[in-house]
């Protein structure tokens, strides 16, 4: 394929890949906001280097090379170190509505990205613990399914370096995820039991029913609120933190909730109307993960992200 030097034609050519490139940049950085900036940086670099594109590789592969290097440059310029307890404070969720737009053709290359991707927050969190180069190699080899040669050419390094980095990356992922997560698969749709649990969780949240919610929580519940530091583990400790924050008290306010989907996981967007207020404003967005028919993990994001995630800022 010949790269057009006409700006409008060029933009049409490259923007056909924008949605999958944004997922790629998100996986590399863990930031929904930053992923869009990096896609724009990718297009800018591609325009500046358009004369260098000789058609020896596909346009898609060339753009992935530019996007990956843009991500590596961003990570090098803004080194981010997890907190002392290992929490990823810059973590943000990714709307399923945008993931659904990536592949409209089940046989196309975009579909392969979605079919092979592991996008749930547990995986995105784990991969952020890897150094930038092993992270890139893991994504290219194990998620995008590129060969060793393709990966080495894309990263402009040797095949030996790719194999070494991949070993380190896989070891790091096993450490973060545990042996039971060796085979990474996209999360499946919730079954009837989980669907009922999601609806029950939503209703109890609206009522600020602490006792009812407690019954739906796993004993080993894990709760985080990026970018606020801290990991709360254990059902009793998590519930007590909610109570300490005023949840369920007479002065807390009235809640309304909406069900949405982020990172292929169910999420509850909670809106609060303060006593005497005239509308419900976005308070939190909680992403849920299940285990043994109970809520095993809750990652809570600030309601100020609502509009970016395609949700209303107020009801």
**pLDDT of the residue at 2:** 53
What does each of the 315 residues of the chain score in pLDDT, given as a tens digit?
Answer: 555 567 778 788 888 899 999 999 999 999 999 999 999 999 999 989 888 776 667 888 899 999 999 999 999 987 566 666 777 889 999 999 999 888 654 445 555 565 555 788 988 999 999 999 999 999 999 888 899 999 999 999 999 999 999 999 999 998 888 755 555 555 567 788 889 999 999 999 999 999 999 999 999 999 999 999 899 999 999 999 999 999 989 899 999 999 999 999 999 999 999 988 999 999 999 999 998 899 999 999 999 999 999 999 999
The CA distance from 129 to 172, in Å, is: 8
Q: What is the DSSP string of 214-252?
A: HHTEEEEEEEEETTEEEEEESHHHHHHHHHHTTTTSTTS
- According to DSSP, the β-strands at 294-302 and 217-225 are parallel
What is the pTM (predicted TM-score) of this model?
A: 0.89
Cβ count near 304 (within 10 Å): 13
The CA distance from 224 to 309, in Å, is: 19
Q: Which phi and psi angles does 158 have, rounded to 5°?
A: -85, 160
Its sign, for the CA torsion 164, 166, 172, 178, is negative
Domains of the chain and any CATH numbers: 7-181 (1.20.140.160), 192-309 (3.10.450.50)
**pLDDT of the residue at 189:** 72
**pLDDT of the residue at 59:** 87
How far is the CA of 46 from the CAs of 14, 34, 54, in angstroms? 9, 18, 12
3-state secondary structure of 260: strand
> Hey, which residues does 225 pair with through a beta bridge?
228
Cβ count near 196 (within 10 Å): 12
**pLDDT of the residue at 172:** 92
| Residue 119 · residue 35 · CB < 8 Å | no
User: HSE on the CB side for 293, CA within 13 Å?
Assistant: 4
């Amino acid at each position: 394929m010949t790269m057009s030097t006409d700006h409008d034609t060029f933009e049409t050519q490259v923007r056909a890949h924008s949605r999958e490139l944004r997922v790629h940049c998100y996986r590399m950085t863990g930031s929904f906001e930053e992923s869009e900036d990096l896609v724009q940086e990718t297009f800018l670099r591609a325009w500046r280097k358009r004369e260098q594109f000789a058609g020896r590789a596909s346009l898609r592969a060339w753009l992935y090379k530019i996007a990956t290097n843009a991500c590596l440059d961003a990570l090098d310029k803004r080194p981010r170190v997890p907190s002392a307890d290992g929490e990823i404070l810059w973590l943000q969720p990714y709307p399923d509505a945008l993931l659904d737009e990536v592949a409209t053709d089940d046989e196309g290359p975009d579909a392969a990205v979605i079919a092979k991707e592991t996008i749930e927050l547990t995986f995105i969190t784990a991969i952020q613990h890897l150094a930038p180069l092993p992270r890139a190699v893991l994504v290219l080899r194990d998620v995008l399914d590129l060969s060793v040669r393709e990966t080495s050419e894309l990263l402009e390094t040797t095949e030996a370096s790719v194999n070494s980095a991949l070993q380190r990356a896989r070891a790091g992922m096993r450490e973060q995820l545990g042996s039971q997560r060796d085979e990474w698969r996209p999360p499946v749709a919730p079954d009837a039991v989980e669907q009922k649990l999601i609806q029950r969780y939503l209703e109890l949240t609206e009522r600020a029913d602490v006792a009812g919610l407690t019954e739906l929580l796993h004993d080993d519940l894990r709760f985080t609120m990026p970018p606020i530091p801290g990991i709360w583990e254990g059902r009793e400790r998590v519930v007590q933190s909610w109570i300490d924050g005023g949840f369920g008290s007479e002065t807390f306010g009235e809640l309304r909730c909406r069900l949405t989907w982020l990172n292929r996981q169910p999420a509850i967007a909670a809106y609060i109307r303060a006593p005497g207020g005239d509308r419900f404003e976005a308070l939190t967005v909680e992403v849920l993960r299940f285990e043994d028919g109970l809520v095993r993990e809750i990652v809570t994001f600030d309601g100020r992200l609502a509009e970016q995630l395609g949700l209303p800022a107020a009801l």
